[in-house]
């Protein structure tokens, strides 16, 4: 092929075509269109605007969460605290107060529904991942001690929370919420442990293989399952008309049976298919995603929360199968680093720290933190001692179980959505989640000093 000839052909072609287009345009300009004067596109103006705002909000959220997460990682704290704080700082508690104009520009009311749905989908996918990582073998091997410790660590704060509710209900609840709903919710909000944050703290400190580490992990896993069952129950009580509670509970039981009798064998079959390379990885991925969305939809319709279905689908996939590893690899970073920050910021946008003002409110807030910590630590410490752990081990387990993090925020958002928690109580419980999560690492360090490998 001749270089010169190619260049000539090309130049001629370009010149010719530009000339032709101008001829066409010259003639066409005199034409008159008969169509309506209004443009056809409905999304012409609003569609682009929404996209711009959503993109802007996403960028700000992802960068802020990452930056504050890095700061807390550098402080030897779990980065999740930084992401939670980033959310609160971007909300009405700081940005909205200091720079209302900027806040309205970055998070105008028209992006809030998108952030809401994105954060909910993110949490659904995250709960699926939590279920996927749940080592059901861990639950079965060492059932007794962890179950006792874990359930003690749920019951103690739950009962203390319900008792506290006696004092909080008259002043801080809506008349539409019955005391039973209120007390159940306060109880659940007190008794959540964040399995992923706990696992992260143990890994950061090289303790995940130690005796305390494995016991704490098993306890937290039992805690997770129990807390989600409890939440599902509480939500069904809070949502349903009294006469519908039994229908909800019946449907929930039926759903769980379907999952374990029909979906679990299907999951095992799929795992086998993929392990023997008889199904493309992408197809498996789509099937798993469709199943988890469907399960989330089913539990949402039943009246317990969408999270519950996604979590169960994660549970029935064996956590060490190549399918689980493949799906986790494909979802984890996008969910943890892109979607969860949206959840934190969405939570932060709803957290009005300003509502906690005056000495009485701060006293309530301090009481909530004290009751939550005392119940969680006390319950697990006593149970751990009774089941044979040493003082130091029992104390470490108790401190670890007091980690709340993300899971607590999920429960609180459900409570706010249901109208059971008032915005002021919501803000107090968010502060409680922050303080208990933040306190875990330094206190653990003090108790186990010199007994664990360097981080």
Write out the binding residues for a second copy, residues 58-87 only, by CB under 8 A: 58-59, 62-63, 66
Q: How far is CA 23 from CA 19, 148, 209, in A?
A: 6, 86, 78
Quick check: helix, strand or coil at residue 445? Answer: helix
Q: Which is nearer to a second copy, 118 or 443 (CB)?
A: 118
Quick check: helix, strand or coil at residue 2? Answer: coil
Q: Which of 10, 74, 260, 362 binds a second copy (CB under 8 A)?
A: 10
Tokens of 324: 């689980």
Specify the stretch interacting with a second copy by CB under 8 A; choose among 48-56, 92-100, 206-214, 258-266. 48-56
Q: Which is nearer to a second copy, 68 or 435 (CB)?
A: 68
**Residue 377 main-chain phi, psi, to 5 deg:** -65, -50
Work out whether 390 is an interface residue with a second copy (CB under 8 A): no
Q: Which is nearer to a second copy, 70 or 98 (CB)?
A: 70
Reference 118, options 68, 173, 170, 58; nearest CA is 58
Q: Which of 89, 148, 367, 447 binds a second copy (CB under 8 A)?
A: 148
Work out whether 266 is an interface residue with a second copy (CB under 8 A): no
Percent helix, strand, coil in the chain, to 5, is: 80, 0, 20
Tokens of 205: 């400190």
Work out whether 139 is an interface residue with a second copy (CB under 8 A): no
Q: Which of 136, 387, 445, 452 binds a second copy (CB under 8 A)?
A: 387
Cβ 22 to a second copy shortest distance, Å = 10
Cβ 158 to a second copy shortest distance, Å = 7
Work out whether 277 is an interface residue with a second copy (CB under 8 A): no
Of 322-381, binders to a second copy (CB under 8 A) are 329-331, 333-334, 336-338
Work out whether 433 is an interface residue with a second copy (CB under 8 A): no
Gap between the Cα atoms of 375 and 385, Å rounded = 15
Residues in contact with a second copy, counted by CB under 8 A, come to a total of 110
Work out whether 301 is an interface residue with a second copy (CB under 8 A): yes
Gap between the Cα atoms of 182 and 190, Å rounded = 12
Cβ 296 to a second copy shortest distance, Å = 6
Q: Which of 256, 418, 439, 447 binds a second copy (CB under 8 A)?
A: 418
Quick check: helix, strand or coil at residue 107? Answer: coil
Tokens of 295: 């399960």
Q: Mask: binding to a second copy, 302-321, rule CB under 8 A, as x and -? A: ----x---------------
Reference 187, options 164, 168, 211; nearest CA is 164
Tokens of 343: 């959840």
Q: Per this entry, what is the length of the chain?
A: 455
Gap between the Cα atoms of 90 and 78, Å rounded = 20
């Amino acid at each position: 092929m001749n270089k010169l000839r190619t260049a000539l052909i090309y130049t001629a072609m370009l010149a010719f075509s530009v000339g032709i287009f101008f001829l066409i345009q010259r003639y066409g300009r005199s034409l008159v269109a008969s169509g309506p004067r209004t443009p056809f596109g409905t999304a012409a103006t609003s569609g682009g605007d929404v996209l711009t705002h959503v993109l802007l909000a996403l960028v700000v959220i992802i960068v802020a969460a990452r930056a504050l997460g890095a700061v807390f990682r550098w402080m030897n704290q779990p980065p999740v605290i930084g992401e939670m704080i980033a959310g609160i700082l971007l909300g009405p508690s700081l940005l909205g107060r200091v720079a209302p104009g900027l806040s309205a520009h970055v998070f105008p009311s028209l992006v809030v529904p998108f952030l809401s749905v994105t954060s909910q989908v993110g949490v659904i996918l995250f709960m699926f991942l939590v279920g996927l990582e749940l080592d059901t073998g861990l639950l079965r091997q060492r059932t007794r001690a962890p179950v006792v410790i874990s359930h003690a660590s749920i019951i103690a704060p739950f009962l203390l929370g319900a008792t506290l509710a006696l004092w909080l209900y008259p002043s801080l609840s809506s008349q539409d919420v019955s005391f039973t709903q209120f007390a159940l919710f306060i109880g659940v909000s007190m008794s959540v442990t964040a399995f992923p944050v706990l696992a992260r703290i143990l890994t950061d400190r090289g303790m995940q293989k130690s005796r305390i580490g494995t016991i704490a992990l098993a306890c937290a896993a039992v805690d997770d399952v129990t807390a989600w069952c409890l939440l599902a129950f509480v939500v069904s009580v809070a949502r349903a008309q009294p006469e519908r509670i039994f229908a909800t509970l019946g449907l929930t039981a039926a759903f769980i049976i379907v999952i374990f009798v029909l979906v679990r064998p299907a999951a095992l079959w799929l795992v086998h298919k993929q392990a023997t390379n008889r199904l493309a990885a992408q197809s498996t991925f789509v099937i798993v995603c469709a199943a988890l969305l469907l399960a989330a939809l089913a539990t949402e319709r039943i009246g317990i929360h969408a999270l519950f279905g996604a979590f169960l689908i994660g549970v029935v996939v064996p956590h060490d199968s190549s399918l689980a590893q493949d799906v986790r690899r494909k979802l984890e970073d996008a969910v943890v680093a892109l979607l969860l920050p949206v959840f934190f910021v969405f939570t932060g946008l709803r957290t009005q720290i300003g509502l906690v003002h005056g000495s009485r409110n701060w006293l309530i807030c301090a009481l909530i933190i004290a009751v939550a910590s005392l119940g969680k630590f006390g319950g697990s410490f006593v149970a751990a001692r009774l089941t044979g752990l040493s003082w130091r081990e029992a104390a470490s387990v108790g401190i670890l179980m007091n980690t709340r993090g993300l899971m607590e925020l999920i429960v609180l958002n459900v409570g706010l959505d249901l109208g059971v928690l008032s915005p002021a109580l919501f803000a107090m419980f968010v502060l409680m989640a922050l303080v208990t999560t933040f306190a875990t690492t330094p206190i653990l360090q003090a108790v186990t000093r010199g007994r664990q490998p360097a981080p």
